[in-house]
Amino acid sequence: GENVEQHPSTLSVQEGDSAVIKCTYSDSASNYFPWYKQELGKRPQLIIDIRSNVGEKKDQRIAVTLNKTAKHFSLHITETQPEDSAVYFCALDGMDTGRRALTFGSGTRLQVQP
Amino acid sequence: GEEVAQTPKHLVRGEGQKAKLYCAPIKGHSYVFWYQQVLKNEFKFLISFQNENVFDETGMPKERFSAKCLPNSPCSLEIQATKLEDSAVYFCASSQSNRANEQFFGPGTRLTVL
């Protein structure tokens, strides 16, 4: 099955700094790459996504880059704020098998220090 | 509704008892997904539906888990004879048919098996 590796598992930054989280995957047929933010005890919330025909997408302080050749995609958060503290999950859509279920990375706990 | 709804929020069962969880997808969404999130944050896909039809059940432990999505009723996930390792948060997600990979999650049901 599809495998997604996510790094780092924890990340601590100072408020105002940038944070980068990277995911690598094994199946080149995947076409959809979302990122979810999950606060403690809450539901995962879709924050940004990218499709395979695009190399980069930006939404205010959040951006995602995709390198299909190298099979990795990254989440970039600029000017981090304490409310960015959460666990972030990358995921991808197993469209190669006709499934639409998401395969998730193992999560990155981001702590933004005020 | 505009958000995926799940009930109950918390469920406590003794080992061997039955547990039943409910999910109401966003109105107009035809795909429903069930995921299990265990203590280490990892998400495991269980089953998906396209309307009332099972779309993908490759993640289901079939001997004790079952699920349904019937017309005009919330979807349900049922665990017969719960085991300690079933303790987890169970999330339901839904998506539209034309953008099936954009999945929106419910608040989850925390199942504790004692």
Say which residue, B102 or B83, is predicted with more confidence.
Answer: B83
State how far residue A3 is from chain B, nearest Cα, in angstroms: 12
Q: Please name the residues in contact with A55: beta carbons below 8 A apart, sequence gap of 6 or more.
A: A65, A66, A67
At A54-95, the pLDDT tens digits run 789 999 999 999 998 999 999 999 999 999 999 999 999 866
| Residues in A 31-50 with any Cβ partner in B closer than 8 A | 32, 34, 36, 38, 42-46, 49
**What is the secondary structure of A63-111 as a DSSP string?**
EEEEETTTTEEEEEE-S--GGG-EEEEEEEE-GGGT---EEE---EEEE
Residues of B in contact with A95 (CB under 8 A): 101
State the pLDDT at residue A74: 98
* d(C-alpha B101, C-alpha A52), whole Å: 13
State the pLDDT at residue A96: 52
What count of other Cβ atoms lies within 10 Å of the Cβ of residue B46? 22
Q: Is the confidence at residue B12, as pLDDT, over 60?
A: yes
State how far residue B71 is from chain A, nearest Cα, in angstroms: 21
Q: Is the confidence at residue B4, as pLDDT, over 90?
A: yes
Q: Do B31 and A106 touch (CB under 8 A)?
A: no
Do the Cβ atoms of A45 and A36 come closer than 8 Å?
yes
Place of tokens 């406590």: B12
- The overall average pLDDT reported for chain A is 91
State the pLDDT at residue A27: 77
State the pLDDT at residue B54: 94
Do the Cβ atoms of B89 and B37 come closer than 8 Å?
yes
**Rounded percentage of chain A residues whose pLDDT exceeds 70:** 93
CB of B96 within 8 Å of any CB in chain A? no
Residues of A in contact with B42 (CB under 8 A): 104, 106-107
State the pLDDT at residue A1: 59
State the pLDDT at residue A99: 61
Q: Sign of the CA dihedral B74, B4, B105, B91?
A: negative
Task: Indicate the pLDDT class of residue B25, thresholds 50, 70 and 90.
Answer: very high
Structure tokens at B99: 């953008």
* d(C-alpha B83, C-alpha B45), whole Å: 18
CB of B101 within 8 Å of any CB in chain A? yes
At B33-86, the pLDDT tens digits run 999 999 778 899 999 999 999 999 989 998 999 999 998 899 999 999 999 999
